[in-house]
């Protein structure tokens, strides 16, 4: 038997309205863990429920004097007790102390109601100098909205400034840690969450975030110790229950996650929350309880009939149950969205159709996946993400690509594609990148810093090819076309042939690009689309090929496929 045992017995007694028994069990919990302020708080709470307001305040005063002076919420509880005792002067004093010293503002709304009551009873306004929890409140609220919208870099800038101004603002530190984590800055995320726990060691959001960060870092021993603590935690507030449930799911403790999700689904708000049914379904799926998972996803489908998400996951169950899942069991995220690969495919299909829906453009979870993949994915995944970025093309995306350009460990090809994507987004002026170990400035629309000049007619060839290829070739293929043209000009310079008919050169570039990417193309088809003769396209393609040694390069690459350029 330990404090947790007596706590659970006390809660059971409370559920049955047996306050005397609950008080007895809470007292025993205090005896087992006298330094745990939560045990004392529980005892004070039940004393207040029983109408023993003076005794409750004695316990609360003991907490702030002897156990944990940082538990400023005790002053709010004292204010309630004094108000019930009709000692309004003492209630005012306790409430003012709470508002002026509590940084979290958990009971801010209730405090405002009590201020009205006390002002009425005392027949004067309350004497209060400041409300500590409102310091930076507006900025923090805006930063949280940015996180929900997927504007992570903007949120980081705002939150970094906020924690500099208010270093004790633990909620801001917590959200800053999450923002860092979403964009893949794990070292910064870990430092931010440790700052939260330095301010408030029992902060549940901070402990949950730390557990996820430790799992990512592979720190097994401290993670196991922390998870053991979280397994014993039984939060009261629904926000804390939800945070703990999702954390346990991410940590792979699906039994615990499901238990907490079930608690939330018993509430009125939970029964109307489609995401909760998805979370519970994922927990069941990971526990191989497929029939139960299907029931939860069917309920989610009823609440969100226009969504593809429940349908997609029930199709996964169909494949498993019919034995069609030959590649093994698919990993499913607790987040209520389609898998990253499926969303990327949807985005690419939308691009091919010439229209990107706002749902895909502004989905914060999809954007978070992109940030993550751009920092930690393999080369091919990064290139896919950069293509997707080109479709979204907002300031947040441009900032993310610009940051990648200065990473000394990043692949030069990925950086060059990023420069190409930034130009496609309309970024003007020079773009600086670390290429080949040295800093390179790409001026305006110049795609190569190695040429001493960049003539307008060279750019016209690129522009024409880009226009004709835009709906038929993806961004990587367009980039390879531009790279081929720049390489040709660089190798031929200064003996560059006279570009009398730019359509012929643009057509030759498209033809060679198609061959580089193993796409079907003929001189006849390209010549017809560019309005030039087959001979012109063939002649220019041969000239580019011989100058760049393209055929030899491609024959080497395609040798394994038994093909030739």
Q: Domain for residue 348, yes or no?
A: yes
Where among 380, 409, 442 does a domain terminate? 442
Query: CA distances (Å), 294 to each of 87, 290, 308, 316, 488, in order?
Result: 56, 6, 15, 10, 58
Has residue 328 been placed in a domain?
A: no
- How far is residue 309's CA from residue 363's CA, in Å, rounded to a whole number? 14
Which pair of structure tokens corresponds to residue 271?
């029964």
Provide the pLDDT for residue 336.
72
Distance CA 59, CA 23 (A): 13
**Residue 303: inside a domain:** yes
- Beta-ladder partners of 435: 438
Is 449 inside a domain boundary? Answer: no
Is 461 inside a domain boundary? yes
Q: What are the φ and ψ backbone dihedral angles of 201, each rounded to 5 degrees?
A: -60, -25
- Please tell me the predicted confidence (pLDDT) of residue 558: 40
Which of 133, 141, 138, 90 lies closest to 114, judged by CA?
Answer: 90
Same domain, 312 and 396: no
The verdict on 151 and 120 lying in the same domain is: no
Same domain membership, residue 168 and residue 111: no
What are the DSSP calls for 137-182, one per residue? HHHHHHHHHHHHHT-HHHHHHHHHHHHHH-TT-HHHHHHHHHHHHH
Of 380, 412, 442, the last residue of a domain is: 442
Residues 90 and 164 in one domain: no
Last residue of a domain, one of 132, 166, 194: 132
Among residues 181, 141, 182, 183, the alpha carbon closest in space to that of 159 is found at 141
267, 303, 264: which is closest to 283 by C-alpha? 264
pLDDT value at residue 372: 66
| Whole-number pLDDT of residue 444 | 58
The pLDDT value given to residue 560: 39
Count of alpha carbons within 13 angstroms of residue 58, beta-carbon side: 5
Q: What is the pLDDT of residue 562?
A: 40
Number of domains in the chain: 4
Q: Is 558 exposed, middle or buried (0-12, 13-18, 19+ CB in 10 A)?
A: middle
Task: Report yes or no on 326 lying in a domain.
Answer: no
Let me know whether 101 and 38 are in one domain: yes
Indicate which CATH number applies to the domain containing 14.
1.25.40.10
Cα-flanking dihedrals φ and ψ of residue 434, to 5°?
-90, 100
Do 128 and 165 lie in a common domain?
A: no
Question: In terms of residues, how long is the chain?
Answer: 565
Instruction: Note whether 284 and 185 are same-domain residues.
Output: yes
pLDDT at position 365 is 59
- Global pTM? 0.51
**Same domain assignment for residues 510 and 373:** no
Q: What is the pLDDT of residue 557?
A: 41
Let me know whether 96 and 193 are in one domain. no
- Identify the pLDDT of residue 83: 94
Domain co-membership, 148 together with 290: yes
CA gap 562, 555 in Å, rounded: 9
Strand pairing category for 438-442 and 431-435: antiparallel
CATH assignment of the domain containing 553 = 1.10.472.10
Structural domain contains residue 489:
yes
Q: Clarify whether residues 159 and 306 are in a common domain.
A: yes
Domain that holds residue 463: 456-561
pLDDT of residue 349: 64
**pLDDT digit of tens for each residue in the chain (565 aa)?**
676 787 778 778 777 778 888 888 888 877 888 888 888 888 898 899 889 999 999 999 999 998 999 899 999 999 999 999 999 999 999 999 998 888 778 888 888 889 888 888 888 887 776 667 666 666 788 888 888 777 788 889 999 998 888 888 888 899 999 888 888 788 899 999 998 898 888 889 999 999 999 988 888 888 999 999 998 888 888 888 999 999 999 899 999 999 999 989 988 888 888 889 999 999 999 999 999 999 999 999 999 888 878 888 898 888 888 876 666 677 787 777 666 666 666 666 666 555 555 655 566 656 666 776 777 677 777 777 777 666 666 677 788 788 888 888 888 888 888 887 787 777 777 788 887 778 877 765 556 666 777 788 888 888 898 888 877 887 788 888 888 888 888 888 888 888 878 999 999 999 998 888 888 888 999 999 899 999 999 999 999 888 887 776 655 444 433 444 4
Residues 478 and 399 in one domain: no
Looking at the domain assignment, is residue 335 inside a domain?
no
How far apart CA 183 and CA 173 sit, in angstroms, is: 16
């Amino acid at each position: 038997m330990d404090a947790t045992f007596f706590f659970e017995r006390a809660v059971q007694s409370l559920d049955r309205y047996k306050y005397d028994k609950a008080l007895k069990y809470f007292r025993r919990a205090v005896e087992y863990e006298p330094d745990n302020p939560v045990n004392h708080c529980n005892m004070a709470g039940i004393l207040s429920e029983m109408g023993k307001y003076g005794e409750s305040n004695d316990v609360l005063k003991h907490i702030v004097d002897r156990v944990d002076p940082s538990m400023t919420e005790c002053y709010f509880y004292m204010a309630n007790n004094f108000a019930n005792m009709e000692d309004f002067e003492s209630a005012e004093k306790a409430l003012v102390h709470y508002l002026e010293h509590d940084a979290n503002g958990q009971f801010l709304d209730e405090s405002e109601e009590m201020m009205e009551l006390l002002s009425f009873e005392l027949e004067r306004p309350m004497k209060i100098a400041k409300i500590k929890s409102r310091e930076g409140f507006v900025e923090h609220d805006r930063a949280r909205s940015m996180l929900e919208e997927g504007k992570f870099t903007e949120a980081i800038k705002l939150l970094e400034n906020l924690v500099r101004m208010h270093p004790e603002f633990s909620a801001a530190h917590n959200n800053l840690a999450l923002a860092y984590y979403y964009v893949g800055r794990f070292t910064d995320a870990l430092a931010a969450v440790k700052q939260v726990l330095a301010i408030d060691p029992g902060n549940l959001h901070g402990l949950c975030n730390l557990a996820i960060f430790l799992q990512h870092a592979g720190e097994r021993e401290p993670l196991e110790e922390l998870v053991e603590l979280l397994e014993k935690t039984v939060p009261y507030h629904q926000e804390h229950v939800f945070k703990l449930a999702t954390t346990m799911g991410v940590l792979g403790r699906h039994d615990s996650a499901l238990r907490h999700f079930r608690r939330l689904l018993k509430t009125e708000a939970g029964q109307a929350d489609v995401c909760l049914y998805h979370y519970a379904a994922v927990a069941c799926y990971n526990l191989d309880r497929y029939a139960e998972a299907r029931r939860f996803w069917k309920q989610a489908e009823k609440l969100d009939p226009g969504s593809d998400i429940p349908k997609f996951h029930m199709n996964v169950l169909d494949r498993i149950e019919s034995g069609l899942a030959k590649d093994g069991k698919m990993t499913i995220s607790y987040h209520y969205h389609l898998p990253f690969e499926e969303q990327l495919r949807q985005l690419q299909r939308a691009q091919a159709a010439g229209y990107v829906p706002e749902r895909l453009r502004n989905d914060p979870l999809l954007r978070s996946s992109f940030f993550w993949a751009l920092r930690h994915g393999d080369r091919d995944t990064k290139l896919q993400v950069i293509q997707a970025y080109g479709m979204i093309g907002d300031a947040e995306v441009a900032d993310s690509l610009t940051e990648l350009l200065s990473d000394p460990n990043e692949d030069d090809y990925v950086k060059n594609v990023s420069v190409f994507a930034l130009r496609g987004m309309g970024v003007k002026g020079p773009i600086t990148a670390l290429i080949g170990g040295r800093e390179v400035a790409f001026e305006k629309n110049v795609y190569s810093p190695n040429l001493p000049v960049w003539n307008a007619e060279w750019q016209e060839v690129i522009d024409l090819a880009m226009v004709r290829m835009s709906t038929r070739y993806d961004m990587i293929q367009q980039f390879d076309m531009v790279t081929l043209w720049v390489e040709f000009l660089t190798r031929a310079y200064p003996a560059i042939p006279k570009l009398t008919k730019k359509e012929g050169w643009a057509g030759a570039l498209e033809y060679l690009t198609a061959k580089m990417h193993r796409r079907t193309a003929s001189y006849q088809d390209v010549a017809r689309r560019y309005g030039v003769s087959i001979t012109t396209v063939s002649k220019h393609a041969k000239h580019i090929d011989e100058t760049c040694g393209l055929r030899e390069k491609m024959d080497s690459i395609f040798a394994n496929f038994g093909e030739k350029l």
